[in-house]
C-alpha cells in the first residue's frame, strides 16, 4: 500500500511505501512511463550502442549469444565427399564462421553490417568477377558504412544501394567505395518501412527493441542498491528540538551528538524531530524483491528472444532447468539461420569453389542442429527408424532393395549401417518373391540377405537388437 504524504515546508508530495518491493516497482514503472511519454525509446545513438556492448555484460550477451549459436555448429554439406572436405578446409582457413559471427553480432548491435569480399584486384568499386582470386573477407559495422542514395529498382535486391562508401574505423585502410556485388549485407531486426527510411535502409538494433525492458531492469537494480544503503531508518525524538535550535550552544551540542551517533553506528540515515525523547528503528521488508527483478529480467529475455537460462544463467519460474524455454530458443535460432545465413553461406561457398577452379552446381547443405542428441536418444531414434523400415519390408510393402536403400540413407542420422555401399544395394533384386510357409506353418522371411530371421505369422518379427514394439 502506498500513501502520499506532504513534507512540511516543501509543498510537494512524496510516496511512502510499506515494502521495498512496492518501492522498486513504482520507481521502475514511473521511469518507464516517463521515458515512453517523452519518446526517448525511438532510437539510441550508435555511440551509446557501442558503449553498451563494450561495458554491459547483459547487453553483450543480447548481441553475441544468438550470433554465436547461429554459427557454432556449422553445416553438413550435401555435396560429394571431396567437395565437402574442400569447403570445410577453406571455411577454416578463411575464418568464415568467425567472420559471420562478427557480422551478425554487429547487425544486432547497430542494425546492420557488411562482409567485404576481397578478390585482390584493387578495384572494390567495380562489379565482382567471381573467377578472380579470392583472398578473404572483412567485416564492417553500420557506423563505418554510408549507403549510396541510388538503389536497385528490380530483382531480389530491389531497394538496396548499388554502392557503399566504407570508412574503416580500425586498421590502415582509407575510405573507399564498394560495389554492392562485392559485399554480403546483414540487416538487424526487421523493422517498418518508415523506420527503414530513417535508418538509411538498415534494420533495428536489439538495444532499440529491448530498450524499455533494459531501462526498467536498470532502474530496479538502482532502486535495490538505494534501499540497501538505507535499509534501516533510525528516528530520534528530542523534546523541544526546534526551540533548542534557537540556542547556538545547544544547537551545536545536538549537532555533535547526532554526528557522533551516526559515526559510531553506520552510514544509515537518522531522522530527528521535535518530540519527547524517543529513539526508534524502522526497516524495510525485502521480501518479493527477487520476484520484481526476475520479472524485469524476463522482459529483457523476451525482447532479445533469448531465454533466461541462457541470458542470465537462471531458470524461469515453474521449470527446473529451463528446458521448455531452450526448446523455443532452438527454434528461434533455426529460423534465423534460414532467414539470415543460408544465402550468405551459399554465396561464400560458391565464391570459394569458383575461385579454386571447381565446377559449381547447386550448393546444398543442412545446418547442424544446436541441440545435440544424447547417446541414449541417438540409439533410441536409430532403433525406431530402422525398425520402422524393417516392419514395412517384412509386411511385403517394399522390397529388400528399397529397405536397404532407406536404411543407408538414414546412416548419417542414425550412425549405423554407414558401410552399406551402392554395390550392396545393387546386388539385391528389386522384386522379391512372397514368403513361403514351411511344413510347420511358419514363414521364412525373405528379409535382408543373411539376416536369417524366421517370422511367426502371428507375431511381429524380431531383428536382433532392433526389436519391433
The pLDDT, as a whole number, for residue 28 is: 46
Reply yes or no on whether the pLDDT at 273 is more than 60. no
Write the pLDDT tens digit of every residue in 322-375.
567 788 888 999 999 999 999 999 999 999 999 998 888 889 999 998 876 667
Flag the least confident range among 53-67, 116-130, 234-248, 382-396: 234-248
Mean predicted confidence (pLDDT) in 19-28 = 46
Q: Please tell me which residue, 3 or 218, carries the higher pLDDT value.
A: 218
The pairing of beta strand 75-77 with beta strand 176-179: unpaired
- C-alpha grid cell for residue 223? 532502486
> Torsions phi, psi of 69, nearest 5?
-70, -30
Reply yes or no on whether the pLDDT at 41 is more than 80. no
Cα–Cα distance for residue pair 273/277, rounded to 1 Å: 10
The pLDDT, as a whole number, for residue 434 is: 55
The pLDDT, as a whole number, for residue 213 is: 78
Reply yes or no on whether the pLDDT at 426 is more than 60. yes
The pLDDT, as a whole number, for residue 459 is: 53
Cα–Cα distance for residue pair 309/316, rounded to 1 Å: 7
Report the percent of the chain where pLDDT is more than 70: 68
The pLDDT, as a whole number, for residue 156 is: 77
The pLDDT, as a whole number, for residue 438 is: 62
152 phi-psi bin (left φ>0, alpha ψ -120 to 50, beta other): beta
Mean predicted confidence (pLDDT) in 169-177 = 87
Where do the structural domains in the chain lie, given as residue ranges? Answer: 232-281, 375-467
Which residues, other chains included, contact 69 with Cβ-Cβ below 8 Å and sequence gap of 6+? 333, 370
Flag the least confident range among 309-323, 393-407, 452-466: 452-466
Q: Please tell me which residue, 195 or 27, carries the higher pLDDT value.
A: 195
The pLDDT, as a whole number, for residue 358 is: 87
The pLDDT, as a whole number, for residue 430 is: 54
Q: Please tell me which residue, 5 or 175, carries the higher pLDDT value.
A: 175
The pLDDT, as a whole number, for residue 27 is: 43
| Contacts by 305-313, CB closer than 8 A, 24 or more apart | 305/66, 305/329, 305/332, 306/61, 306/62, 306/65, 306/66, 310/61, 310/65, 311/58, 311/61, 311/62, 311/65, 312/58
The pLDDT, as a whole number, for residue 126 is: 93
Q: Is 468 helix (H, G, I), strand (E, B) or coil?
A: coil
Reply yes or no on whether the pLDDT at 136 is more than 70. yes
Radius of gyration of the chain (CA): 34
| The model scores a pTM over 0.85 | no
Flag the least confident range among 118-132, 192-206, 256-270, 397-411: 256-270
Mean predicted confidence (pLDDT) in 181-203 = 89
Q: What does the mean pLDDT of the chain come to?
A: 76
Helix or strand run (H / E) with residue 114: strand 112-118
The C-alpha cell 562489379 sits at 127
Reply yes or no on whether the pLDDT at 460 is more than 60. no
The pLDDT, as a whole number, for residue 312 is: 80
The pLDDT, as a whole number, for residue 96 is: 97
pLDDT bracket for residue 3 (50, 70, 90): very low
Amino acid at each position: 500500500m502506498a500513501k502520499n504524504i506532504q513534507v512540511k515546508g516543501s509543498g510537494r508530495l512524496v510516496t511512502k511505501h510499506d515494502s521495498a518491493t512496492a518501492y522498486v516497482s513504482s520507481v521502475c514503472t514511473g521511469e518507464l512511463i516517463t521515458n515512453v511519454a517523452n519518446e526517448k525509446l525511438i532510437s539510441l545513438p550508435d555511440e551509446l550502442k557501442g558503449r553498451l556492448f563494450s561495458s554491459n555484460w547483459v547487453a553483450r550477451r543480447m548481441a553475441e549469444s544468438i550470433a554465436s549459436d547461429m554459427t557454432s555448429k556449422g553445416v553438413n554439406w550435401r555435396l560429394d565427399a571431396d567437395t565437402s572436405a574442400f569447403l570445410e578446409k577453406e571455411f577454416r582457413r578463411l575464418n568464415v564462421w568467425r567472420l559471420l559471427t562478427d557480422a551478425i553480432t554487429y547487425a544486432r548491435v547497430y542494425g546492420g553490417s557488411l562482409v567485404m569480399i576481397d578478390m585482390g584486384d584493387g578495384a572494390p568499386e567495380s562489379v565482382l568477377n567471381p573467377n578472380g582470386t579470392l583472398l578473404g573477407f572483412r567485416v564492417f559495422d553500420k557506423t563505418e558504412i554510408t549507403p549510396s542514395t541510388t538503389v536497385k529498382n528490380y530483382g531480389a535486391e530491389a531497394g538496396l544501394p548499388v554502392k557503399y562508401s566504407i570508412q574503416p574505423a580500425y586498421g590502415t585502410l582509407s575510405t573507399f567505395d564498394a560495389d554492392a556485388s562485392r559485399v554480403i549485407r546483414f540487416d538487424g531486426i526487421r523493422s517498418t518501412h518508415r523506420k527503414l527510411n530513417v535508418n538509411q535502409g538498415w534494420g533495428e538494433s536489439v538495444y532499440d527493441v529491448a530498450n524499455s525492458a533494459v531501462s526498467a531492469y536498470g532502474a530496479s537494480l538502482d532502486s535495490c542498491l538505494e534501499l540497501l544503503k538505507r535499509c534501516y531508518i533510525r528516528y530520534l525524538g528530542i523534546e523541544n528540538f526546534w526551540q533548542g535550535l534557537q540556542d547556538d550552544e545547544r544547537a551545536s551540542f545536538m549537532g555533535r551528538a547526532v554526528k557522533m551517533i551516526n559515526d559510531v553506528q553506520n552510514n544509515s540515515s537518522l531522522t530527528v524531530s521535535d518530540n519527547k525523547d524517543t529513539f526508534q528503528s524502522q526497516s524495510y521488508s525485502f521480501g518479493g524483491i527477487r520476484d520484481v527483478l526476475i520479472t524485469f529480467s524476463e522482459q529483457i529475455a523476451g525482447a532479445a528472444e533469448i531465454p533466461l537460462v541462457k541470458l542470465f544463467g537462471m531458470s524461469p519460474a515453474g521449470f527446473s532447468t529451463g528446458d521448455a524455454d531452450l526448446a523455443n530458443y532452438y527454434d528461434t535460432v533455426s529460423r534465423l539461420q534460414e532467414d539470415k545465413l543460408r544465402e550468405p553461406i551459399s554465396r561464400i561457398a560458391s565464391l570459394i569453389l569458383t575461385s579454386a577452379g571447381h565446377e559449381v552446381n547447386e550448393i546444398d547443405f543442412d545446418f547442424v542442429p544446436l541441440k545435440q542428441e544424447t547417446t541414449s536418444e541417438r540409439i533410441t531414434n536409430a532403433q525406431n527408424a530402422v525398425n520402422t523400415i524393417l516392419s514395412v519390408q517384412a509386411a511385403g510393402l517394399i522390397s529388400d532393395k528399397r529397405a536397404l536403400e532407406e536404411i543407408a540413407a538414414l546412416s548419417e542420422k542414425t550412425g549405423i549401417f554407414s558401410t552399406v555401399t551402392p554395390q550392396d544395394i545393387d546386388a539385391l533384386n528389386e522384386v522379391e518373391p512372397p514368403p513361403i510357409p514351411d511344413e510347420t506353418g511358419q514363414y521364412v522371411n525373405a528379409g535382408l540377405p543373411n539376416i536369417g530371421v524366421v517370422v511367426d505369422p502371428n507375431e511381429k518379427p524380431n531383428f536382433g537388437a532392433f526389436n519391433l514394439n
